[in-house]
Structure 1
Amino acid sequence: MTDAGPGEADAAPAIDAGPPAALCQSGPQWLSEGETLTLAVLCNQDAPEVSGEDVVFAELPAGASYDPASGSLSWTPGLDQAAVYDLVAEIPGRESAHFTVGVADAWDQADNLPIVDRNAYPLEYGMPVFFLSPPAESREEYAFCTITYRGVDHDAYCKKRGRTSFDFPKNSYTLKFPAAAPFDEPERAGGFVDKRKVVLTTTFDDVSYVRHRLAFELWNQLDPAHVQIQTYPAIVYLEDEFWGIYNVTDHVDEDLMRQQGLGGDGHLYKTISHDANFRATRHRSDALKDSLAEGFEKKSGEPEEGPGAFDDLIDLVSFAIEADDDTFLAEIDTRLALDEYIDWLIFVTFIAGDDNAGKNSYHYHQSGGPWRFVPWDFNATFGQNWQTFRRSAQDYENYTSLNHLFERFLALPSISAQIDARYRAALDGVLQPERVTALLDQFYADVPAAVRARDQRRWRDEFESFDYWNERDNFLSPDEELDYMRTWIAERWTRIDSLY
């Protein structure tokens, strides 16, 4: 017997791996109805004792055929075959393989037919799909609707939402699920689960499709102690009509606050106009408000309306107006989460959130605790205004005309110094242009080019002709908008860096 060399005595015996795989292993294949798929099934025809004749399919969709000579499958799906298919090929007694084929609805074909089975249409080019049936007509009252998501039906309620976006042909929606059966999407946004209400935010006024998501992610990353807002992209159908790309987003409400450990029985207010400016006078006016709560809408908390409903908010606004500097400095830390409200200023000035400094925000007050802030609605950011007109990265506004809290912060040296320090840390960290554009590129890539193209075909003409901005002559494609935003972010960082 030959002695084993160093280490050989303990070597594990070789394991027979069996014959090499003959069937292909590939990821999902996507196409639209009417397009032709050629799918390699047998990838190793040199495998011992295997030929194309040995491959069998348990079942093939109508019109699909397998060619033993080439070891491939061919299929041109008809206009009634939109679905996701799991095709199983087998070499009996040897091996099997699954081939996922997704067939997107050819909604823009004149003779297209409705999707036959919504439960068999969970994804489109890899993106999750919602069906709303019937689609909501009102933004005032919820109406019963069946929501089919990832092929599963949910009995729920829907309504339209938004103010400016209510005028769009592509509206936003709020979905309300039963307490006993909340919405769950464990695979997206780090686990988008246990949601009673969900917002579907329109992308009609954002050719990039990512402003909303990018802004929320930056807010989340600026400080993990912020109220964290989850969002991810999905596709929406109203009944059987392709309605395109939406951002699925947390609904800011008492349930969200409870999820984040803030209690759920506090008072939640939304700023709905620029009169929510923390001043005694209305926006761009010397006229006194009838109530210091003007510009705010109460979303939760008792009492919901009538005497006392806005007392804590009125107290905060009154404090912002009337407190002398010493009192303001002595009490501001206990009245509100100061770092969070400072970050509000940093956040909106960096992204040029013209519509986010004096409105489009939430303010939450739990009895005995400080006021908390949550931003909202980011169509007017990253180089465009609320009408999508271009906004230079060089234009800097501290928004004190829109927000008296900002004015007071900046006028007091000790708070102004905190702003400078937090801004500098953000510029050197979360807001570094390389980090921001990496997120931008990642989120853009999360929406497949084929889906962007479908959405553009559905909405581009209506977008360019919409009366809020049809005077523009510089409309960009999604790829061009991405490049524009990347440049804008780099230039914006340089501009803000020069100030801090």
Structure 2
Amino acid sequence: MGTPQTNSAYQVTAQGQRFTLYFTQLPVVHLDARNPIVDSPSTYAKFTLAEPNGTVTELSAGVEIRGAYSQTYPKKSYELSLWNDTTGATSRDARLLQMRTDNKWNLQALYNEPLRLRSKVANEVWLDMHQIYYKASEPDAKNGIATAYVEVFVNNEYKGIYSLTERVDRKQLKLKKYDKGIKGELYKGSSWDGAVTFTALPPYDNTSETWGGFEYKHPEEEINWSNLYAFVGFVKSSSDQEFYSRYQEQLKLDNAVDYYIFLNLLRATDNTGKNLYIAKYKTGEPYFFVPWDLDGVFGTDWQGLNSPTTDDLLSNGLFDRLSQDCAANGFRSALSRRWTQLRTTVLTEDRLRAKFAAAHNYLQANNVYARERHAWRDFTYSPDQLTYMNTWLHDRLAYLDVAFTQPCSSPTLATATSQKTDALTLYPNPANDYIIVTATEPYELCVRDLRGQMLLRVQGRGRQEKITLGTLAKGLYVATITGAGSVRTQKLVIN
């Protein structure tokens, strides 16, 4: 056979059966579970990590399926808790693939990423462009996560390419621990509600681990929503004079600028409220953002479908207000300066395209796309996706070069965004027999199922129109309304 090649496939026969044999330079994870792996609780599994250099790590682990909507996908993501024994009575820390030393890890399935690379590149870009502001005091603190490709077997069944990742938690951010009271704080935006988008201020209940779309993450010793409630209330309800004179006391400006740039560079439509973390290092310090769950990015939506819009800006209630700050030391000035700086360093088009190419070439050289097709029959590798991403990136950067550096006397970024969003609306949702679309311009409505198959297409003239859903079955769909200058994509539930 000669020297085996990682970009080739070989036909072999064993015990009278023919198999396709592949070689890989990627680390390989084996999970040998005692019982079926479910959402909760964790089940014991023997965790084995074999690295290309010959290093083999064997550990006990608790494994459970992770995610919310992603649990409906056939390829599951997993949460790993490393244990000292088979019961999980005590945890065990380990350093995996040159990442942090910890007992908690995630295996991301990448199922809704056409090239299995967008979220990995996005996380790398964030770490390139942003560093946690108290790094001098906490050298090990990191505002983001490292990731590494691995190939996964579960009970000897090949599951394909995964991303082994660190987690966003108190330990990653080095937040101050609870000490006779709350010091550091951490909240996760986990569902779409008014508080996570800074557009509503619902009452809170300190007996609940959720509020307004947030999950309470730290400290574990005490649930108290009052601090975050006060911050959201300040953003939503304070007068302009109070907001613009005091917001930099409560929010780390440099971090907010970088997150806004990052959010819009990726056009991460599922990350304006949900799928981010808000943290505070210690009492008296400002809040800051940590990105999370970066799959619907770089020209795709949360379902992995192409979303070609490049000429809009994502926002929420907080960024709507920040974008109207024209002070010399305010948000808009900081945004313009930071964008200009980043565009000559880590956010050049050549550098970003090189990241796409490096990840794609690595997976292709190891024949990963062929194996994904074997493991998941609905996966289709399309090399055109790389061309699409590069074209999308070029157009997106060109638009942001203007949008982020325009004079503050021009119409605000937030106003422009709000007008685009409000131009296209769909309701009721959930729906029964019909929906109503309101638009200020001619539009096209497309309804797809979760596999991307087009089930309904309607050309509308604008204003308010009632559209019958016909024979569409009960379930979850993706509705896209496309106008002349704007696109709106959202989940549609039919009861």
Fold shared, TM-score > 0.5 on shorter chain: yes
How far off is 1:244 after superposition? 0.4
Query: In 2, Cα distance between the equivalents of 1:192 and 1:358?
Result: 28
The 5 Å alignment of 1:467-482 reads 477-482=381-386
Which of the pair has more CA radius of gyration? 1
Question: Which position in structure 2 is the counterpart of 1:486?
Answer: 390
Question: Which position in structure 2 is the counterpart of 1:409?
Answer: 322
Give the one of 334, 358, 361 matched to 2:249: 334
Query: In 1, Cα distance between the equivalents of 2:111 and 2:225?
Result: 34
Give the one of 95, 103, 121 matched to 1:184: 95
How far off is 1:497 after superposition? 1.6
The 5 Å alignment of 1:376-391 reads 376-391=292-307
Question: Which position in structure 2 is the counterpart of 1:47?
Answer: none
Is the Cα contact below 8 Å between 1:325 and 1:412 reproduced in 2? Answer: no
Question: Which position in structure 2 is the counterpart of 1:373?
Answer: 289
Q: What SS does the corresponding residue of 1:312 show, helix, strand or coil?
A: helix
Give the one of 190, 193, 199 matched to 1:275: 193
Q: Does 1:295 align with 2:213?
A: yes
Q: What SS does the corresponding residue of 1:455 show, helix, strand or coil?
A: helix
Q: Does 1:458 align with 2:381?
A: no
| Superposed CA offset, 1:306-349 (max 9, x none) | xxx21221121111122223332333223222211221111111
Give the one of 258, 263, 272 matched to 1:343: 258
- The amino acid of 2:26's aligned partner reads M
Query: In 1, Cα distance between the equivalents of 2:63 and 2:312?
Result: 39
- The amino acid of 1:373's aligned partner reads F
Query: In 1, Cα distance between the equivalents of 2:9 and 2:309?
Result: 43
Give the one of 133, 137, 143 matched to 2:43: 143
Question: Which position in structure 1 is the counterpart of 2:229?
Answer: 314
Q: What SS does the corresponding residue of 1:130 show, helix, strand or coil?
A: strand
| Superposed CA offset, 1:90-121 (max 9, x none) | xxxxxxxxxxxxxxxxxxx97669x9xxxxxx
How far off is 1:274 after superposition? 2.2
Query: In 2, Cα distance between the equivalents of 1:497 and 1:176?
Result: 43
Question: Which position in structure 1 is the counterpart of 2:103?
Answer: 196
Question: Which position in structure 1 is the counterpart of 2:279?
Answer: 364
How far off is 1:303 after superposition? 4.1
Q: Residues 422, 110 of structure 1: CA spacing in aligned structure 2 closer, same or farther, 3 A cutoff?
A: farther
Is the Cα contact below 8 Å between 2:196 and 2:213 reproduced in 1? Answer: no
Is the Cα contact below 8 Å between 2:5 and 2:23 reproduced in 1? Answer: no
Question: Quick check: 197-206 or 289-298, which moved more?
Answer: 289-298
| Superposed CA offset, 1:263-305 (max 9, x none) | 35422211012215456755xxxxx634493100112214454
Q: What SS does the corresponding residue of 1:411 show, helix, strand or coil?
A: coil
Q: Does 1:168 align with 2:83?
A: no
Q: Residues 486, 185 of structure 1: CA spacing in aligned structure 2 closer, same or farther, 3 A cutoff?
A: same
How far off is 1:137 after superposition? 2.8
| Superposed CA offset, 1:10-63 (max 9, x none) | xxxxxxxxxxxxxxxx9875588953xxxxxxxxxxxxxxxxxxxxxxxxxxxx
| Superposed CA offset, 1:422-443 (max 9, x none) | 1222233222111101111112
Query: In 1, Cα distance between the equivalents of 2:352 and 2:10?
Result: 39
Question: Which position in structure 2 is the counterpart of 1:441?
Answer: 357
Question: Quick check: 272-281 or 237-246, which moved more?
Answer: 272-281
Question: Quick check: 476-485 or 200-209, which moved more?
Answer: 476-485
Equivalenced residue count is 367
Q: What SS does the corresponding residue of 1:378 show, helix, strand or coil?
A: coil
Give the one of 243, 247, 250 matched to 2:163: 247
Q: Residues 137, 181 of structure 1: CA spacing in aligned structure 2 closer, same or farther, 3 A cutoff?
A: closer
Is the Cα contact below 8 Å between 2:61 and 2:82 reproduced in 1? Answer: yes
Question: Which position in structure 1 is the counterpart of 2:439?
Answer: none
Q: Residues 442, 236 of structure 1: CA spacing in aligned structure 2 closer, same or farther, 3 A cutoff?
A: same
Is the Cα contact below 8 Å between 1:279 and 1:321 reproduced in 2? Answer: no
Relative to the length of structure 2, the TM-score reads: 0.68
Query: In 2, Cα distance between the equivalents of 1:166 and 1:398?
Result: 27
Q: What SS does the corresponding residue of 1:247 show, helix, strand or coil?
A: strand
Q: Does 1:263 align with 2:163?
A: no
How far off is 1:182 after superposition? 2.0
Q: Does 1:157 align with 2:46?
A: no
The percent identity for this pair of structures is: 27
Is the Cα contact below 8 Å between 2:197 and 2:272 reproduced in 1? Answer: no
- The amino acid of 1:235's aligned partner reads E
- The amino acid of 1:171's aligned partner reads K
Q: What SS does the corresponding residue of 2:100 show, helix, strand or coil?
A: strand
**Aligned-CA RMSD value:** 2.9
Question: Quick check: 273-282 or 421-430, which moved more?
Answer: 273-282
Structure 1 segments unaligned to the other structure (5+ residues): 1-25, 36-75, 81-108, 116-122, 283-287, 464-475
Query: In 2, Cα distance between the equivalents of 1:457 and 1:302?
Result: 43
Is the Cα contact below 8 Å between 1:253 and 1:268 reproduced in 2? Answer: yes
